[in-house]
Chain A
Amino acid sequence: MGKYIMVVDDSPTIRVSVEFALKATGIPVEQAENGAEALKKIKALTEKGDAIAMGIIDVNMPQMDGITFIKNFRKDDKFTPLIVLTTESEEHKIQEGKDAGASGWIVKPFQPAELLGVVQRFIR
């Protein structure tokens, strides 16, 4: 049974940056462009017997935004940590994320070490 970190962001730059920053964890990173795609991928992973160790989710995305994703995800899974990616102009989104069931957040732009630190604390 494999574990993955799921990064959900509509910007490919952010996705590969997250993947780059999390190389040190040794946990493979799965990418999705929006909430809907992420839900599908997670479903596919669980069907194969794999799981996600944590999710890193952008708030503002087309098609399905991060908050809706978190709400949906939390219907089936209460324990997996979910971190919200925000920018400083979106502080109210942190609150919304929290209400939806997010476990933490990180502000973009972040330093790789910063993200790694947050992630490592969640998935020791």
Chain B
Amino acid sequence: MSESAIKEVFISEAKEIIEKLESDLVQLEENEGDQEIVNRIFRSFHTLKGSSGIVGLTSIYNFSHKLENLLDRVRSGDIAVDNSLIDLILGSIDWIRDELFTEKADTDESKSAMNALQQRILEYTGEEKAVEAGEEEETGRAKPKAGVYNYFRIKARFADDVFETGIDPLMIIEDLLTVGTLLTKNVDREQLPALDAMNPERCYLSWDLIIKTLEPVDKINDVFMFVRDRNSITIEDVTASFSGRGRELPQEKRIGEILLEKGIISEAELDAVLKYHDSHKTKIGDIIVKKGLASEKDVKDALEEQEKLKKKIELNTVRVDTNRLDNILNLLGEIVIGQSSLNRIADELDDDKDTGFQLKNALYGLDRITREFQEQIMSIRMIPIGPSFEQFRRFVRDSAHERGKDIKLVIEGGDTELDKTVIEKISDPLKHMIRNAIDHGIEVPEEREAAGKAAAGLVTLRAYHQEGNVFIEVLDDGRGVNLAKVRSRAVERGLLKEDEEASRERLLSYLFHPGFSTADRVDDLSGRGVGMDVVKTNIEELRGTVELKSEEGKGTTIRIKLPLTLAIIDGMLVSIGRNIYIIPLLSIVESMQPKQEDVKTVEGKGEMISFRGEFVSLARLYDLFEIDARHKNPWEGLVIVVESANTRIGLLVDDLLGQQQIVIKSLDNYITRSRSISGAAILGDGKVALIVDIHGLVEDIMDINSAR
């Protein structure tokens, strides 16, 4: 651990604190009276101050100290929360961020920005406070009053059980020597018993000292602060007591608060209950039930919630470098490979023989354990998506203000856990979709009211697990997609003929086309025509899919479906000639053997096959990968219909070999990059199989066909 390493720790801590602060502030704006949030914000600045002080970032230390003071006044109710206060604090956070992470640090520009902010903070806290704060700021500690020596006489008679609080009187005397110089010293040994009667855990000595120092009497008091109560200490000419106000620590949620939040009881009712509780000392839950304010079930639910919160609070964690997890995961991958080769050997053994049967049984058990092991490791890589959602609060607030809209962000399912890498990669696409919702979805308040909606629009971020997949939804209750407009834009771009019929789904799918935008004007927020196609590409890189639903006048829902993990997938093994390829199970719609008459060549579109009433492009994989195949006619081989986003194509293969869990190995640069291949896997018999990247493949096929 070096000092630069400490700084690194600080930088990552500061980043976390700033993110938390932003989310808390936007929440505070929505719930102005929420003391819990104010407490959290106060504590964030408090922590930031302490940490920045340690690493010697004086400017941030001083600045967060001022903010801490400001928040303390908000906490005590001196200063009310309003928009301009929140703007000020957000502005201050921006300054801290610039100072920490950008080139602006320590420039004249940043200094004048800081002065402006401090001036505004002063307007809240008042001159007097600021001067007082200014004094302690320079070094963060009280400075000795220069020039004049003080003399103090100290009589210290320690209680005989002083050692029982971990205090050694000698330590205190030594501490005193750091404050000043000792002039005289008398040790009173009268209480000292004979050696055989002496208890080594007892203190028998007293001191009488005179000390000369430049420090004020407070410093001497400080030294004895911990022993004054239980021991007899006198400091001559000095009577000082400790100042300080009682401060409430943030508390866990009370049951009454939970019921209040749920709207089951009212504030007045809660007050009455609390009064009764103070005078009767009965359990609050019991009082609420007895008074008929809530049913027993409500109270029980609230108690359970409280218990859950407590458990969350007690969570015990270890921080581990993700590289280590990746290493474990890779090793596990090797185990899975080793296991499948064992399985292959076992398959060749005769079942009737005892050993063959026993080996298979043992392998079956081992298989179960590895599967569970894998799930456990995967679950370590999983983190809740909540914080990632929270970071959008600020973004929504700022963008909405900019566009003159009133928008609330609702977050649901923040507990839903996703692979860390997925969460990192999904952040940008999410931002894009939220931006779209703000710009194109939600209307301005007047328009909303005219349409009979609430003035404030809602953007909802929702995450949930379903059938081994994670779903993430971005919903808005805005105007929805204007299909007529999409249609005319599609015709304009030549995607659709003037008189061509197009289903709702097909029209919506145009939104994912590169360069397609229905925005009336281009501005700095969105509407540049890059957007949903990039979102789609990013999601598909994570082996996920995007789906858009919209109802005019009511709103739009974008649903992202993602696999739980990235490193292991369910794959379908297919053979082409002597080669084995793996197709991700997630992308497969169906496999079929077409009739000869179902295969047609369409002008400008290449080979097509009829699949459930629609024509899909046919890709001859042997052709594409330039290898040999057993079957070159679609009606002899098998066609697997796969889907990427809203496009379906059929892949011609020789045969299906079965489905298997696949550990993905990434291909390094020594293999020519192909859009159609996403990686490789080692099979049980040691053979290597390439994994087909359906998204890339579909694009390749589309490119080839459109070039025809």
Contact = CB atoms under 8 A, between A and B. Distances in A.
Interface of A: 10-14, 16-17, 19-20, 23, 33, 36-37, 40, 54, 60, 62-63, 65, 74, 78-82, 87-95, 98-99, 101-105, 107-110, 117-118, 121-122
A89 B163 CA distance: 29
A10 B1 contact: no
A33 B140 CA distance: 24
Interface string B175-211: 1001000000000000000000000010000000000
A108 to B, nearest CB: 5
Q: Shortest 7 CB-CB distances between A and B: which pairs? A: A92-B244, A109-B53, A81-B166, A103-B166, A13-B51, A13-B10, A78-B164
Contact of A63 (B2, B5, B242, B313): B313
A95 B242 contact: yes
A13 B68 contact: no
B159 to A, nearest CB: 13
Contacts of B313: 36, 62-63
Contacts, number: 129
B61 interface: yes
B56 to A, nearest CB: 8
Nearest to B249: A65
27 contacts: A11-B50, A12-B9, A16-B1, A20-B6, A36-B316, A62-B250, A63-B314, A65-B249, A80-B166, A87-B46, A88-B141, A89-B69, A90-B244, A90-B247, A92-B244, A95-B225, A101-B165, A102-B165, A103-B166, A103-B226, A105-B225, A108-B53, A108-B54, A109-B61, A121-B174, A122-B166, A122-B171
Given A40-B316, A94-B242, A11 B47 contact: yes
Contacts of B171: 104, 121-122
B167 interface: yes
A64 B80 CA distance: 29
Nearest to A89: B68
A110 B178 CA distance: 15
Given A13-B6, A98-B225, 19 more contacts: A10-B47, A17-B55, A23-B1, A40-B316, A78-B165, A81-B166, A88-B136, A88-B140, A90-B244, A92-B246, A94-B242, A95-B225, A107-B140, A108-B50, A108-B54, A109-B50, A117-B178, A118-B175, A122-B168
**Interface residues of B, dominant DSSP:** helix
A87 B52 CA distance: 13
A13 B244 contact: no
B242 A91 contact: yes
Determine the interface band of chain B, counting residues with CB < 8 A from chain A.
35 or more
A104 B53 CA distance: 21
Contacts of B47: 10-11
Contact of B229 (A62, A98, A109, A118): A98
A14 B5 contact: no
A92 B247 contact: yes
A45 to B, nearest CB: 14
B397 interface: no
Contact of B243 (A60, A82, A92): A92
Interface string B242-281: 1111110110000000000000000000000000000000
Contacts of A37: 316-317
Contacts of B3: 20
A18 to B, nearest CB: 9
B5 A16 contact: yes
Contacts of B141: 88, 107
Contacts of A54: 166
Nearest to A103: B166
Interface of B: 1-3, 5-6, 9-10, 12-13, 43, 46-47, 49-51, 53-56, 61, 65, 68-69, 72, 136, 140-142, 163-168, 171, 174-175, 178, 201, 225-226, 229, 242-247, 249-250, 313-314, 316-317
Contacts of B201: 79
Contact of A16 (B9, B65, B163, B225): B9
Contacts of A16: 1, 5-6, 9
B38 to A, nearest CB: 14
A34 B518 CA distance: 52
Contacts of A12: 9, 12-13
Contacts of B6: 13, 16-17, 20
A121 B175 CA distance: 8
Contacts of A94: 225-226, 242
B9 A87 contact: no
Contacts of A78: 164-166
A98 B50 contact: no
Nearest to B174: A121
Given A14-B54, A87-B46, A92 B245 contact: yes
Contacts of A40: 316
Nearest to A107: B141
Contacts of A90: 244, 247
A62 B49 contact: no
A13 B9 contact: yes
Nearest to A97: B226
Nearest to B178: A117
B140 A62 contact: no
Contacts of A82: 166
A34 to B, nearest CB: 9
Given A62-B250, A63-B314, A121-B174, A109 B168 contact: no
A79 B250 CA distance: 30
A62 B171 CA distance: 31
A12 B14 CA distance: 10
Contact of B249 (A10, A60, A80, A105): A60
A36 B68 contact: no
B242 A104 contact: no
A104 to B, nearest CB: 6
A91 B243 contact: yes
